[in-house]
């Protein structure tokens, strides 16, 4: 009795069709690094906002967050008090370095020109960790920062200052 082993022509063609579909759909996603950079940057923004809030509580001072289309800058008030303005004193990063951006201030910058922050805003955290839009006046609405390319936004709750993704 002769026994033949192998694949039929139908099985080979179906395998080639499936491989073709996978290569047309999945492989281009691995080469688009902006999606991965955007998600990583969204995590970095969320961590930075939490750090700003925790620093305000720990140092019992106002910490201001300035959001532009390409970066986030953190400043801290030089004196404690609810009406203290965030002046030119930079908030030092947890690593003790001023920034990874090309400047002297503590900033986090978008990793690519294709990734932007929206909307540009200025807000801060008081000594209790509550957000404010104007120094001495608590926020009445939540702050939402959208990162282009990321699947979600970052929300800073108005009453508590809780920083999270929806």
Q: In Å, how far are 36, 40, 85, 100, 144 from 113, measured between CA atoms? A: 14, 15, 31, 16, 21
pLDDT band at 61 (very low <50, low <70, confident <90, very high): very high
Q: How far apart are CA 55 and CA 31, in angstroms?
A: 38
Q: Establish how many alpha carbons lie within 13 A of residue 140's alpha carbon, considering only the half-sphere containing its beta carbon.
A: 2
Do you find a cis peptide bond into 119, omega within 30 degrees of 0? yes
Give the best-scoring range by mean pLDDT among 35-39, 92-96, 154-158. Answer: 154-158
The overall pTM is greater than 0.85: no
How far, in Å, CA of 42 to CA of 109, rounded? Answer: 11
Record the tokens describing residue 70, joined without a space.
């390409």
Read off the pLDDT band of 151 (50, 70, 90).
Answer: low
Q: Return phi, psi of residue 143, to 5°.
A: -95, 130
Domains of the chain with CATH codes: 33-164 (3.55.40.10)
Best-predicted range by mean pLDDT (30-39, 97-106, 122-131) = 122-131
Report d(CA 51, CA 35) in Å as an integer: 24
> Which pLDDT does position 93 carry in this prediction?
77
**Who contacts 166 (Cβ-Cβ below 8 Å, separation ≥6)?**
152, 153, 155
Share of the chain above pLDDT 90, in %: 40
Give tens-digit pLDDT for 79-116: 888 788 887 788 887 776 555 565 556 788 888 888 88
- The pLDDT score that the predictor gives to residue 143 is 92
């Amino acid at each position: 009795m002769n026994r033949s082993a192998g694949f039929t022509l139908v099985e080979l063609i179906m395998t080639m069709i499936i491989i073709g579909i996978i290569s047309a759909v999945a492989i281009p996603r691995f080469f688009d690094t902006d999606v991965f950079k955007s998600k990583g940057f969204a995590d970095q923004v969320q961590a930075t906002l939490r750090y700003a809030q925790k620093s305000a509580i720990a140092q019992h001072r106002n910490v201001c967050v300035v959001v532009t289309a390409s970066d986030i800058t953190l400043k801290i008030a030089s004196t404690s008090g609810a009406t203290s303005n965030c002046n030119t004193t930079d908030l030092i990063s947890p690593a003790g370095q001023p920034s990874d951006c090309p400047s002297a201030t503590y900033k986090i910058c978008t990793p690519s020109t294709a990734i932007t922050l929206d909307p540009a805003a200025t807000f801060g955290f008081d000594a209790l960790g509550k957000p404010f839009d104007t120094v001495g006046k608590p926020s009445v609405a939540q702050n939402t920062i959208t990162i282009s390319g990321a699947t979600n936004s970052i929300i800073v709750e108005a009453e508590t200052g809780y920083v999270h993704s929806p």
